[in-house]
């Protein structure tokens, strides 16, 4: 199948829809997350499902996965989580962020 980014016909890898590090704040002590659903027929009567991993789809080839990770996701993680260029809660609907590449 064709990679969604480079459009080349290559083996596709399971790509996280949302980068894995983004789930860290919502994981419990056993590293699980709760998947909520508005569909009453889903989940076999349970109000939520416990997940170990985020949503993934076969979207990108290995080269494109590496490119997105090294060029964008790691930079975003560093700016957002590690350097905390944004507050945890936004005080206003608008905020000016400086110091980004
Ligand atoms: Zn690709």
Q: What is the pLDDT along the chain (101 residues), one digit of tens a residue?
A: 899 999 999 999 999 999 988 888 889 999 999 888 777 666 566 778 888 988 899 999 999 999 999 999 999 999 888 888 877 788 888 888 888 88
Question: What is the 29 CA–ligand 1 centroid distance (Å)?
Answer: 35
Question: What is the 1 CA–ligand 1 centroid distance (Å)?
Answer: 10
CA distance 43 to 73: 32
| Nearest CA-CA partner of 51 in 27, 22, 21, 29 | 27
Report pLDDT for 41.
Answer: 63
Report pLDDT for 80.
Answer: 84
Report pLDDT for 49.
Answer: 84
CA distance 62 to 75: 19
| Backbone phi, psi, residue 99, to 5° | 85, 15
Question: What is the 99 CA–ligand 1 centroid distance (Å)?
Answer: 30
Question: What is the 13 CA–ligand 1 centroid distance (Å)?
Answer: 10
Report pLDDT for 90.
Answer: 81
Enter the DSSP assignment of 61.
Answer: E
Question: What is the 18 CA–ligand 1 centroid distance (Å)?
Answer: 17
Question: What is the 52 CA–ligand 1 centroid distance (Å)?
Answer: 26
Report pLDDT for 61.
Answer: 97
Question: What is the 93 CA–ligand 1 centroid distance (Å)?
Answer: 36
CA distance 90 to 94: 8
First and final C-alpha spacing in the chain: 34
Q: What is the pTM of this model?
A: 0.72
Taking residue 89's Cβ as centre, other Cβ atoms within 10 Å add up to 5
For residue 73, give both structure tokens.
């996701």
């Amino acid at each position: 199948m064709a990679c969604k980014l480079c459009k080349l016909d290559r083996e596709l890898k399971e790509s996280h829809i949302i980068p894995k590090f983004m789930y860290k704040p919502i994981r419990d002590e056993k590293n699980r997350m709760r998947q909520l659903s508005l569909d009453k027929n889903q989940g076999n009567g349970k109000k939520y499902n416990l997940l170990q991993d985020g949503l993934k789809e076969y979207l990108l080839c290995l080269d494109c996965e590496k490119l997105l990770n090294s060029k964008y996701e790691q930079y975003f993680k560093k700016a957002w989580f590690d350097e905390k260029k944004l507050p945890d809660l936004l005080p206003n609907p608008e905020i000016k962020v400086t110091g980004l590449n």
